[in-house]
């Protein structure tokens, strides 16, 4: 099943039960509640995840992280997968 | 042994599998056997457990290991043994781990989960329990694990259910004798709302003596492969990636993580490349050494060499290498193969000439470590249920 899409207008934040472990390629994200391990496969994606504060919109965070609009689609897909596995949650 | 994993786009700079092959600064998945003591004497025990080792880590030393794992952000450990609940400080160790944000998943034969223990376990956060059975009936199970072991495991499951533990796991090692019971295992799990986890038999520990009679036949491997493909919810700890050479890859990472993303700490603190290679050849160091676990993981000669690119060998030129990665190092080693040889259960049959050449009385590597209890006979599934020697 495809995850629920994330849009530029959404507000997201790291789930309080999730810990990030930075790695060469990005990070490991472990959810202590559902015990799922996710991989954040790119350092730029990690930078975005860390910048999400639940106040600014996803679009604003992508801009501030210097992700140009050509890469928005792939980041939105990645964020949707992370929301689906509850690494991120909506505010 | 590995967790359920989900990976994220955008496209990684390098495939994740390549990253993992180079090793990470800390393991993703760490197995820690707390004791060699066990009340059972399973015929295929990977650690040849039975008797406690007098040099086992003390409670304080265990706490220190946990503190180190917390610093390394190892998110959880798989506790096992032996039978981990035979340690009198078992609950102290678990409490220390979960209160330091090191989640615990522990494997047990269930004997010591009475009603009170089940309630205590149900009251803890970040804790998963995995009960082992290797048959869906007492006949098949007890032939491998010993008389009464099926009833004991079922009783533990009943206690966990009564205590509202939630979805525990039922862990099964797939053998020639139980592969036809896969649906029955799934039924048992469904009855309890439990998750089924099936893993691969390796010729490690006492398994070295029984592997030839217990490992699934080629036909059964194909049966298992299709069964797993249709049931992505069944956990496998990624242990059947050698089956991916049959076609569509099974879900998971599909690589041997030994010394790269996986390792074992044994009851005396020795660090091995993975739980299935308790042998000096794969011993990287000890947590009691200066620098502790961290320096063993990051600097040991063995782990450094395991993170180097694969050397040449029959598998590297095989068309299925990308899917199967040459299979399991432990299985090759303990049947007496070179590490560059195909997996002894190679689904394309490339190991069969090698197995035939080894014959029945060849000398295979033996572990220095054996804690089997003297005078206690190991169940012999072979006499109870005759099978032919070697893979048909
Ligand atoms: S030859 Fe090696 S890589 Fe090819 S399928 Fe067999 S074990 Fe896997
Ligand atoms: S040696 Fe075998 S059991 Fe150990 S990590 Fe590699 S594939 Fe898994």
DSSP B106: E
Within a domain: residue A10?
no
What is the residue range of A75's domain? 15-86
Confidence category of residue B254, pLDDT binned at 50, 70, 90: confident
Q: What is the pLDDT of residues B186-221, one digit of tens each?
A: 999 999 999 999 999 999 999 988 999 999 999 999
pLDDT at B251: 81
SS (H, E, C) B311-360: CCCCHHHCCCHHHHCCCCHHHHHHHCCCCCCCCCCCCCCCCHHHHHHHCC
Could you tell me which residues come within 8 angstroms of residue B386 by beta carbon, excluding any fewer than 6 positions away? none
Could you tell me which residues come within 8 angstroms of residue A60 by beta carbon, excluding any fewer than 6 positions away? none
Q: What's the order of all strands across the beta sheet hosting B169-174?
A: B195-200, B169-174, B127-132, B103-108, B76-81, B29-35, B262-265, B270-272, B283-286
Could you tell me which residues come within 8 angstroms of residue B151 by beta carbon, excluding any fewer than 6 positions away? B138
Name the nearest CA neighbour of B44 among B112, B191, B166, B143.
Answer: B143
Within a domain: residue A31?
yes
In Å, how far from its chain's centre is CA B26? 19
Tell me how far apart the terminal alpha carbons of chain B are, to the nearest angstrom.
28
How confident is the model over B148-177, as a mean pLDDT?
A: 97
Within a domain: residue A54?
yes
Within a domain: residue A47?
yes
The whole-angstrom separation of Cα B220 and Cα B342 is: 19
ipTM computed for the complex:
0.85
Name the nearest CA neighbour of B200 among B244, B157, B148, B247.
Answer: B244
How confident is the model over B241-268, as a mean pLDDT?
A: 91
Confidence category of residue B13, pLDDT binned at 50, 70, 90: low
Ligand 1 site, residue B342, Cβ cutoff 6 A: yes
Q: Which ligand is nearest to the CA of B329?
A: 2
Cβ-defined contact of A38 to B7 (cutoff 8 Å): yes
- Specify the range with the lowest mean pLDDT, choosing from A60-64, B42-46, B360-364: B360-364
Q: Tokens at residue B148, please?
A: 């009464």
pLDDT greater than 80 at residue A41 = yes
pLDDT at B383: 47
Confidence category of residue B2, pLDDT binned at 50, 70, 90: very low
Q: What's the order of all strands across the beta sheet hosting B5-7?
A: A18-23, A26-31, A37-40, B5-7
**Within 13 Å, how many C-alpha atoms sit on residue B152's CB side?**
19
pLDDT greater than 60 at residue B40 = yes
Confidence category of residue B314, pLDDT binned at 50, 70, 90: confident
Q: Which residues line the pocket of ligand 2, CB cutoff 6 A? A: B 202, 256-258, 262, 274, 276-277, 328-330
Could you tell me which residues come within 8 angstroms of residue B349 by beta carbon, excluding any fewer than 6 positions away? B218
Confidence category of residue B392, pLDDT binned at 50, 70, 90: very low
pLDDT greater than 80 at residue B364 = no
Name the nearest CA neighbour of B49 among B87, B77, B22, B75.
Answer: B87
Looking at per-residue pLDDT, the higher value among B379 and B137 belongs to B137
pLDDT greater than 80 at residue B390 = no
The whole-angstrom separation of Cα B164 and Cα B141 is: 26
pLDDT at B161: 97
Of B10, B73, B126, the CB nearest to A78: B10
- Supply the pTM of this predicted model: 0.90
Q: What share of chain A is helix, strand, coil (3-state, %, to 5)?
A: 35, 25, 40
Within a domain: residue A20?
yes
Cβ-defined contact of B12 to A26 (cutoff 8 Å): yes
- Helix or strand or coil: residue A63? helix
Within a domain: residue A77?
yes
User: Are the C-beta atoms of B339 and B315 separated by less than 8 Å?
Assistant: no
Ligand 1 site, residue B315, Cβ cutoff 6 A: yes
Confidence category of residue A63, pLDDT binned at 50, 70, 90: very high
Q: Which of residues 15-74 of A touch B (CB under 8 A)?
A: 19, 21, 23-26, 28, 30, 32, 35-42, 44-45, 71, 74
How confident is the model over B108-127, as a mean pLDDT?
A: 95
pLDDT greater than 90 at residue B380 = no
How many structural domains is chain A composed of? 1
Within a domain: residue A91?
no
Q: What is the pLDDT of residues B166-176, one digit of tens each?
A: 999 999 999 99
Could you tell me which residues come within 8 angstroms of residue B280 by beta carbon, excluding any fewer than 6 positions away? B367, B368
Name the nearest CA neighbour of B168 among B139, B141, B129, B198.
Answer: B129
DSSP B306: H
Mean pLDDT over the full length of chain B: 90
Within a domain: residue A7?
no
């Amino acid at each position: 099943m495809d995850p629920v899409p994330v849009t530029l207008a959404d507000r997201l934040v790291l789930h309080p039960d999730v810990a990030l472990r930075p790695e060469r390629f990005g990070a490991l994200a472990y959810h202590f509640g559902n015990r799922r391990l996710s991989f954040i496969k790119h350092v730029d994606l990690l930078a975005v995840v860390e910048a999400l504060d639940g106040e600014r919109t996803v679009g604003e965070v992508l801009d501030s992280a210097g992700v140009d609009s050509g890469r928005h689609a792939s980041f939105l897909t990645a964020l949707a997968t992370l929301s689906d596995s509850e690494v991120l949650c909506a505010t | 042994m590995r967790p359920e994993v989900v990976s994220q786009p955008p496209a990684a700079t390098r495939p994740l599998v390549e990253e993992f092959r180079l090793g990470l600064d800390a393991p993703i998945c760490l197995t820690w056997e707390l004791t060699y003591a066990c009340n059972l004497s399973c015929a295929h025990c990977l650690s040849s457990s039975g008797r406690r080792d007098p040099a086992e880590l003390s409670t304080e030393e265990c706490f220190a290991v946990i503190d180190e794992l917390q610093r390394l952000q190892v998110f959880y450990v798989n506790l096992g043994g032996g039978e981990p609940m035979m340690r009198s400080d078992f609950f102290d160790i678990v409490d220390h781990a979960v209160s330091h944000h090191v989640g615990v998943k522990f494997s047990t034969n269930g004997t010591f989960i009475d009603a009170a223990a089940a309630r205590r376990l149900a009251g803890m956060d970040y804790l998963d329990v995995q009960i082992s059975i290797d048959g869906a009936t007492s006949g098949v199970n007890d032939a491998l694990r010993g008389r009464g072991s099926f009833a004991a495991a079922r009783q533990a499951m009943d206690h966990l259910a009564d205590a509202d533990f939630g979805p525990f796991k039922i862990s099964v090692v797939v053998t020639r004798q139980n592969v036809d019971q896969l649906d029955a295992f799934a039924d048992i799990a469904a009855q309890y709302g439990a998750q089924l986890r099936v893993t691969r038999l390796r010729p490690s520990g006492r398994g070295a003596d029984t592997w030839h009679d217990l490992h699934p036949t080629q036909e059964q491997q194909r049966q298992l492969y299709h069964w797993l493909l249709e049931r992505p919810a069944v956990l496998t700890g990624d242990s059947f990636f050698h089956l991916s050479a049959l076609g569509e890859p099974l879900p998971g990472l599909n690589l041997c993580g030994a010394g790269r993303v996986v390792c074992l700490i044994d009851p005396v603190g020795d660090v091995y490349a993975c739980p299935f290679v308790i042998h000096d050849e794969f011993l990287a160091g000890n947590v009691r050494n200066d620098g502790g676990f961290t320096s063993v993981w990051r600097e040991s000669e063995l782990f450094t060499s395991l993170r180097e690119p694969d050397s040449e060998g029959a598998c590297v030129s095989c068309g299925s290498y990308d899917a199967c990665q040459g299979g399991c190092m432990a299985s090759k080693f303990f049947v007496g193969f070179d590490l560059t040889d195909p997996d002894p259960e190679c689904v394309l049959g490339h190991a069969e000439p090698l197995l035939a050449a080894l014959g029945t009385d060849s000398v295979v590597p033996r572990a220095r470590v054996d804690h089997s209890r003297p005078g206690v006979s190991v169940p012999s599934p072979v006499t109870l249920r005759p099978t032919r020697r070697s893979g048909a």
